[in-house]
Amino acid sequence: MTQPTLPTAAAINTSNRFSASDKRLINCNQVDVNQLMPLKYHWAWEHYNNGCANHWMPTEVPMTKDIETWRGNQLTEAERRVIMRNLGFFSTAESLVGNNLVLAIFKHVTNAECRQYLLRQAFEEAVHSHTFLYVVDSLGLDEGEVFNMYHEVPSIARKDAFETELTAEVMDPNFSTATDEGAQAFLKNLIGYYLIMEGVFFYTGFVMMLSFHRRNLMTGIGEQFQYILRDETIHLNFGIDLINGIKAENPQLWTPEFQQAMIDRVKQAVELELDYAADCLPNGIMGLNEDLFRDYVQHIADRRLERIGLPMQYGSTNPFPWMSETMDLAKEKNFFETRVTEYQAAGSLNWD
């Protein structure tokens, strides 16, 4: 029988304590990923605490009214199409984000406080996936139809393919952030998921689903989308801080060519999102139509570009100012009225 191996003297090192300034977001050789304290990236810890303060579960939201509405004759075929398309997109998009986080991003972020946030975000993505299972179950929808839209409905499949190629690139066994080329590919993944997937591709869906809520229809799903939107706003803000942090520590990555490539990707994403909006709303409903979505998607794309220091491209105005009010949930007096438990104790969140 072999004896257990004892740690060597090299592993037990009492002389080389690190200071917080030694920490790095990627390619950190000085501090291992288990040393949360002393904190360096206080923003990561703040996002983690904000996420925890917003804890919720989909099953706390009653679905009785939604079930009545769905089974009754209040909704037109066009309105049902909007709901189904968005359930189809989000049900698998949440999972694509969660998998990219755990399988592609986590390994290459070499900092404990950021990993602490990523673990929290990964759980939130699981809660979001849970939401769509709960909605499909409650309304008695065809689960095969909803969970296959990501490869059966072209406008959804194209958005998802734009993202999954980024996951595949970082998951390649030979991938490394040690070279500038690899680190740029990693930044491209972060921009593709945080800025584009969670920051652009989710937003026409938020507008559409929250428009039902504003008309007092499908309010259970609407409330769940409000919680998801609140979580996603923090995901986006964390992603922006991480991207800007990596840029600051590795300025050589942010070349004019790379910046242009990222602007081009955002512009491509805007077109994909407009195709998706047109596919959801072929004839326009509830005062929503393709033209309004063009302005809206361009408006949020500009906001996202500015946040990572890139020039805005469109200059469109926001046709849905009520979205900003919806995001400022702390001010919504009625927001918690159907909640069993109120987790958000205090504190203000930074909404984009």
- Residues known to be catalytic: 134
Q: Find the shortest distance in angstroms from Cβ 290 to Fe ion.
A: 26
The binding site for Fe ion (CB under 5 A) comprises 94, 125, 128, 198, 232, 235
Q: Find the shortest distance in angstroms from Cβ 253 to Fe ion.
A: 24
Nearer CB in complex with Fe ion: 23/213: 213
Nearer CB in complex with Fe ion: 162/314: 162
Q: Find the shortest distance in angstroms from Cβ 311 to Fe ion.
A: 26
Half-sphere exposure of 24 (CA within 13 A, CB side): 14
Nearer CB in complex with Fe ion: 23/128: 128
Nearer CB in complex with Fe ion: 66/232: 232
Q: Find the shortest distance in angstroms from Cβ 93 to Fe ion.
A: 8
Cα 308 from Cα 95, distance rounded (Å): 25
Q: Find the shortest distance in angstroms from Cβ 154 to Fe ion.
A: 23
Nearer CB in complex with Fe ion: 160/232: 232
